[in-house]
Amino acid sequence: MPDRLTNTMKILKEKGEKAVVPFLVLGYPNRKGFIEAAKALIEGGAAALELGLPFSDPVADGPIIENADRAVLASGQTLDQAIGLISILRELAPDLPLSLLTYFNPVLKRGIPKFLKDMKEAGIDGITIVDLPPEEYSEVEPYIKELGLAPVMLVSPLTAGDRLRTICAMASGFVYLVSRAGITGLSATYQDTLSHTLASVREQTSLPVLVGFGISSSEQARAMVAMGADGVIVGSKIIDIIDSHDEGEMPHALTDFVSGLKIAMSYNHVS
């Protein structure tokens, strides 16, 4: 049986639909709020959820996500409690793909085999280790393969040649195309090279290509699809919505935002 991530992406492609993959920081804004946010995103039509493991030095993340990480860590949330939240999500949404985004330090601290096994047992389908270069992926690759996790690999407009081929060959589930070099965050413009990078990735893999880092509006999502993306990953904007709405308004705002992205990308695709 195909894994949840691969199967979901395949079904979307067969339907001609694009994927919206929202990002949440595990445990943010608090345990209850995290679950409510996840439910709202699913209701809005999220194809999958990307779950960020809070880390004290998230070098690839902008201030919005970094502040969320710090808030969760300051609350005293442990790794086991974060894993518990993943298990709750899995029970709530048995068929929804869940992909983990983490830095390598927490993986090493727990021990590579145990960390990956615990994540798999909690319900994780895919994993992105942000600061682990492909040259060092051999440290985790045997365990990832053994557990049947999908390595969701990052590429950027600066990734080219043999390195791009290597990364695409290692990837599974989908390829995560970073829309610009640098940190995540809200951005009104994108590099002109993005379209070229998308085409280059297409030459190397048949996997879906999702664009992330800086997607904050329906217009940007539509533009990504026009360039050839199979969907978008949205992080900072999701956290921003959580931060800017009270507990009662937040779920509705998240549902509306995700459904709006889906409609925008569908409109672009049909037209």
Helices (H) and strands (E) in the chain, counts: 12, 9
Residues of the chain with pLDDT under 70: 1-2, 181-192, 268-271
Q: Which of 14, 17, 36, 61 is catalytic?
A: 61
Tell me what pLDDT residue 271 has: 42
Structure-token pair, residue 181: 């070099």
Classify 231 in phi/psi space as left (phi over 0), alpha (psi -120 to 50) or beta.
left
Tell me what pLDDT residue 44 has: 98
Is residue 135 annotated as a catalytic residue, yes or no?
no
Q: How far is residue 149's CA from residue 131's CA, in Å, rounded to a whole number? A: 18
Tell me what pLDDT residue 58 has: 83
Tell me what pLDDT residue 264 has: 94
Among 111, 54, 47, which Cα is nearest to 82's?
A: 54
Tell me what pLDDT residue 229 has: 94
Q: Which of 36, 50, 69, 125 is catalytic?
A: 50
pTM for this one? 0.94
Domain ranges of the chain: 4-266
Q: How far is residue 249's CA from residue 253's CA, in Å, rounded to a whole number? A: 6
Tell me what pLDDT residue 184 has: 53
Q: How far is residue 230's CA from residue 228's CA, in Å, rounded to a whole number? A: 7
Is residue 61 annotated as a catalytic residue, yes or no?
yes
Among 98, 113, 83, which Cα is nearest to 3's?
A: 98
Amino acid symbol at 173: G
Tell me what pLDDT residue 11 has: 94
Helix axes 112-122, 79-92, angle to 10 degrees: 30
Q: CATH for 4-266, among 3.40.50.10210, 3.40.190.290, 3.20.20.70, 3.40.640.10?
A: 3.20.20.70
